[in-house]
Amino acid sequence: MEMGTEKSNKKKENSLVSILFNIVIPVIVMTKMNGTEGTFALGPKVSLAVAVSFPLIYGIVHFVRSRQVNFISVLGFVSVLLTGVFGLMELSPVVMAIKEASVPLIIAVVVFVSIKLDKNVVHSLFLNEDIVDVDRIYSALDERNSREEFDKMFRSSSYWVVVSFLLSSILNFTLARIILQSQPGTEAYTEEIGKLTGLSFPIIAVPCTIILVVVMFYIFKQTTKLTDIPLEEMLKTK
């Protein structure tokens, strides 16, 4: 009973609140409050510092309340945080563009290396015992002698995950080089950083997320085919 109560007390992350604190508010602060005149004018450096504080505070509060780390939220948090910190350091637009490309590139390399070392992180994420009935899946695969085919399917699907993050890296770099044109430390530069943060979601995150969703759909479909277990029975229900 106590375990059930403890689980129910863990509050699920509100996606709208997450987007608000990690993307929307920082973008508004960096684009609308970076001036030196007006009631809400904070100046380029102060507005960057304030913008960075929102994802930082959100990340800390979310972890304290749930004791869980959401992978996607962490990526968004790190991206906004690094953008703000690099902006405060007044680094050149080229360095900022490299920074924007580095996070998804590192993830792509990690996934690729994990595949080559037979430590596939995509495999680990999918076969999460809290979500999927792993034992039943493996038992069904062994009964049908399909374990090898299952591993090959996962391997090929994982390469598409690598492709999605490589695409994200290329798009991040290109977008940063197009938007960041002003001198670092200026009001215009801070506004451009805010614009870059805001456009990164619809232009980069959405297409890459679509690829990941398609990959996951394919994995579930093929797993169902190889195990003859319907998706609703494959997933654990609380």
69 three-class SS: coil
Domain coverage including residue 21: 2-234
Q: What is the pTM of this model?
A: 0.64
Ramachandran region of residue 118, left (φ > 0), alpha (ψ -120 to 50) or beta?
Answer: left
24 three-class SS: helix
In the prediction, which pLDDT does 174 show?
92
Contacts of 133 (CB under 8 A, 6+ apart): 233, 234, 235, 236
Contacts of 204 (CB under 8 A, 6+ apart): 168, 171, 172, 175
Per-position pLDDT tens, the chain of length 238: 444 444 444 455 666 777 777 777 877 777 677 666 666 677 767 877 787 788 778 878 877 887 765 555 566 566 666 666 666 677 788 887 887 788 788 888 888 988 888 878 787 777 777 778 888 888 999 999 988 898 889 889 889 989 988 988 898 899 989 998 888 877 788 788 778 877 877 777 777 788 888 988 898 889 899 988 888 888 776 5
How many domains does the chain contain in total?
1
Among 207, 183, 204, 190, which Cα is nearest to 83's? Answer: 190
Rounded Cα gap, residues 24 and 22, in angstroms: 7
Distance in Å from the first CA to the final CA of the chain: 14
Helical segments of 180-235, H only: 187-200, 206-227, 231-234
Rounded Cα gap, residues 191 and 76, in angstroms: 19
Rounded Cα gap, residues 183 and 172, in angstroms: 20
Rounded Cα gap, residues 179 and 10, in angstroms: 40
